[in-house]
Amino acid sequence: MRLRARFLLLLGLRWLPVGLLIPVSVLLPLERGLTLAEAGSVAAIQGIVVMVLELPTGGLTDALGRRPVLVAAGVINLAAATLLAVAHSVAAFAVYWLLQGVYRALDSGPLEAWFVDHALAADPAADIETGLSRSGVVIGVAVSGGALLGGGVVALGPYGPVSALTAPVLLSILFQAVSLICVLVLMTEERAVRGITAVAASVRGVPGAILGAVRIVRGSRVVAALIAVELFWSFGMPAFEALTPVRLSALLGSGDRASALMGPAGSAAWGASALGAALIPLLTRRIGARWTGFTLRLAQGVTVAGMGLFGGVAGVIGAYLLTYSVHGAANPVHAGLLHRQVDGPHRASLISLNSMLGQPGYALGLIALTALAGSAGVGAAMLLGAAALAVAAPLYLVKAPAPEPLWSLRATTTGV
């Protein structure tokens, strides 16, 4: 099987279970007795854990290899999903989100870095932006299909002793197991190390990989600006990722009805995300990647604001679909701009650093926006998230400093 086909298949299997959980991720803890503030607070644990582990795991990926780290991530993800199926207390959900944080830290970067490394090794001038946009299409289709399936499972439930909101969790466990098996079979890597001595040597290389990524950020205002975009972007994401089911629940007057609606709505949203990712090469070729990123960040701020301002279900769903179409388009643009700033040896570490700084943004956003939603309403929380998304737009226009003129260098060296 060709490299790109393997990459896209593994990517699809990784994101399908995510789609399955979209209709229930917020409503399930509420069904099991947690308040909205408690659900938001324990979910923020994931961001804190990822923030602590992101750079070490990114360095581990660069030092040890992409495949073994991704396998470890899959095992931990299975354990977390199994716990979610039976969690009924704040403490149990806290452990679930802690495991999810470890999984996300390990999972952040290896597969994408594996693909980009191989693509650039085969052709240094490879159009990775188009390749990444195709990955965005696959992610959108996979999450869309998973959300549709998850919503259907909820709508047809309950299933004997298994509640309607628990059933998608059990189904996600099955798909996660399939994903892990496919990683073991399809993800080949010649540089993966074997033996305790070799593993220890790779682990000792982690600090160097981390320092290499940090030096890239310190030495590049472009990379620093891109990472700042990730911080603001992540703060605003809970406004549409976590609060949409709550907003629909308030409008419909029923958590089960909102969850059932989130299935087809989430499916359509990720279908729109796939469409946005598929069309984005046309826009980047016309106005360039930097101006495309700027435009998309402003557009997403507007669409999320619409979710907060519209008073009917149809208006909220329509704005939700537009939000995800922009979201899917923005991801490959941001990733492509970041990948162009780094070479292979530090690629996963830089991706991890970008994700690491995004995680505290998401955690803060989750805490702040759920707290604001509980006190001032979901609409107000969505408007705050929209403002955070839009304010990041100018950061895409930051340029690297122009080379110093030759005459200036000559004057410096001659003492004139």
Structural tokens at position 356: 């690491």
Question: What's the pLDDT band for 404 if we cut at 50, 70, 90?
Answer: very low
What CATH number did the domain enclosing 349 receive? 1.20.1250.20
CA-based nearest residue to 372, from 249, 258, 229, 246: 246
CA-based nearest residue to 386, from 269, 238, 270, 268: 238
Determine the Cα–Cα distance for residues 389 and 408; give it in Å rounded to an integer: 40
Q: Give the pLDDT score at 302.
A: 93
Q: How do residues 36-86 score in pLDDT, each as one tens digit?
A: 778 888 888 887 887 777 767 766 776 677 888 899 999 999 999 999 999
For residue 162, the cross-strand partners are 159
Is the pLDDT at 407 greater than 70? The verdict is no
Domain count, the chain: 1
Q: Give the pLDDT score at 174.
A: 94
Q: How do residues 322-370 score in pLDDT, each as one tens digit?
A: 999 898 888 888 887 877 776 655 666 677 677 777 777 887 898 899 8
Asked if the structure places residue 331 within a domain, the reply is: yes
DSSP class of residue 89? S
Q: Give the pLDDT score at 305.
A: 93
Is the pLDDT at 412 greater than 50? The verdict is no
The crossing angle, in degrees rounded to 10, of helices 255-287 and 313-339 is: 40
Question: What's the pLDDT band for 413 if we cut at 50, 70, 90?
Answer: very low
Asked if the structure places residue 413 within a domain, the reply is: no
Contacts of 174 (CB under 8 A, 6+ apart): none
Asked if the structure places residue 288 within a domain, the reply is: yes
Question: Of 10-14, 126-130, 311-315, where does the model show the most confidence?
Answer: 10-14
Is the pLDDT at 153 greater than 90? The verdict is no
Query: What are the C-alpha distances in Å from 374 to residues 110, 114, 243, 369?
Result: 37, 42, 11, 9
Task: Record the pTM.
Answer: 0.66
Asked if the structure places residue 86 within a domain, the reply is: yes
Asked if the structure places residue 59 within a domain, the reply is: yes
Question: What's the pLDDT band for 108 if we cut at 50, 70, 90?
Answer: confident
Asked if the structure places residue 412 within a domain, the reply is: no
The answer to whether residues 119 and 96 touch, using CB atoms and an 8 Å cutoff, is no
Q: What is the mean pLDDT of the chain?
A: 80
Asked if the structure places residue 33 within a domain, the reply is: yes
Contacts of 231 (CB under 8 A, 6+ apart): 357, 358, 360, 361, 392
Amino acid found at 264: P
Average pLDDT of the segment spanning 231-247: 88
Span of 100-109, 139-148, 402-411 with lowest mean pLDDT: 402-411
Q: Give the pLDDT score at 126.
A: 62
Q: Which helix (H) or strand (E) holds 63?
A: helix 36-64
Q: Which domain holds residue 334?
A: 3-397
Amino acid found at 333: V
Contacts of 245 (CB under 8 A, 6+ apart): 23, 25, 26, 27, 255, 258, 259, 262
Average pLDDT of the segment spanning 184-205: 64
Asked if the structure places residue 416 within a domain, the reply is: no
Q: How do residues 304-328 score in pLDDT, each as one tens digit?
A: 999 988 878 889 899 999 999 898 8
The string over 75-84, giving b where at least 16 C-beta atoms fall within 10 Å of a residue's C-beta and e elsewhere, is: ebbbbbbbbb
Amino acid found at 101: G
Q: Give the pLDDT score at 323.
A: 92
Is the pLDDT at 125 greater than 90? The verdict is no
Nearest-5° Cα angle at 351, 14 to 146: 20
Q: 87 — alpha (psi -120 to 50), left (phi > 0) or beta?
A: beta
DSSP per residue over 236-282, as a string?
HTHHHHTSHHHHHHHHHT-HHHHHHHHHHHHHHHHHHHHHHHHHHHH
Is the pLDDT at 388 greater than 80? The verdict is yes
